[in-house]
Amino acid sequence: MLGIFLCLAPIAATAQNSNAKATLSAHVEDENKVAIPGATVKAINRDFSAACETDFSGACRIVGLPFGTFAIRVSKTGFYVSTLNQIISHDDATLEITLAHQQEVKENVTVSASRPGIDPEETAMSETMNSNDIINIPYPTTRDVRTLLPFIPGVVLDNSNQPHVAGAATYQSSDILDGFNIKDPVSGLLNLRVSADAIRKIDVEQSRYSAEYGKASGD
């Protein structure tokens, strides 16, 4: 009888270990360490699966897990799913799980209509040179604004440094500086020398220009 008892003892111990169950405790929080209620914690392996849902403190428990290796899957709407492998090898296993909020990628694109080639509200064909152009464009001398005019489309200088707009003679154009006509009243030529450093903006208008710029028969 003693020999039989000794042979059965290991078998009984093995059966007791195979029937052992464990408890998995999980605590779920976000990346800001705030508890997440309503998250589903699921333990899965080939032979067994069980799940629980976290309470307001972000905690839940799965009772009755057999010892072994489980895939732990934690999910909740609005968060990325977290999956990890956990070996349940003792009576009470504890997991601290962090779920990251889903990030929505946004891009705003503003689409505006391109300006038509011909604007019916534009009464004159014009070219403009602003202060940045006046400063950055290299030209022979800054003491005479006339040397800057050829850099404007439609304007050329002759051998006497007289500007011609759209092929018209100099006297057929009207030159206005701060509202004053600066043409020679006798010859109609532009003989006034103005430093380009004193100019902030140059506008050249040709064809259909306003009637206020009269005496410009050639443009």
Q: Is residue 68 part of a domain?
A: yes
Could you tell me the end-to-end alpha-carbon distance of the chain, in angstroms, rounded to an integer? 130
Shared-domain flag, residues 144 and 184: yes
Question: In angstroms, what CA-CA distances link 218 with 1, 73, 77, 191, 215?
Answer: 134, 84, 75, 19, 9
Across the chain, mean pLDDT equals 78
Question: In angstroms, what CA-CA distances link 15 with 157, 172, 185?
Answer: 109, 115, 122
Three-state DSSP at 110 gives: coil
pLDDT tier for residue 212 given thresholds of 50, 70 and 90:
low
| C-alpha closest to that of 125 among 152, 162, 163, 161 | 152
Q: Is residue 115 part of a domain?
A: no
The pair phi, psi for residue 34, each rounded to 5°, is -100, 130
Q: Is residue 218 part of a domain?
A: no
Within 10 Å of residue 43's Cβ, how many Cβ atoms?
Answer: 23
So what's the pLDDT on residue 214?
61
Q: State yes or no: pLDDT of 54 exceeds 70.
A: yes
Shared-domain flag, residues 133 and 192: yes
* Overall residue count recorded for the chain in this entry: 219
So what's the pLDDT on residue 6?
36
Higher pLDDT among residues 214 and 3, named by residue: 214
Number of domains within the chain: 2
Q: Is residue 88 part of a domain?
A: yes
- The domain containing residue 51 runs over which residues? 20-99
Shared-domain flag, residues 165 and 200: yes
Q: Mean per-residue pLDDT for 98-123?
A: 74
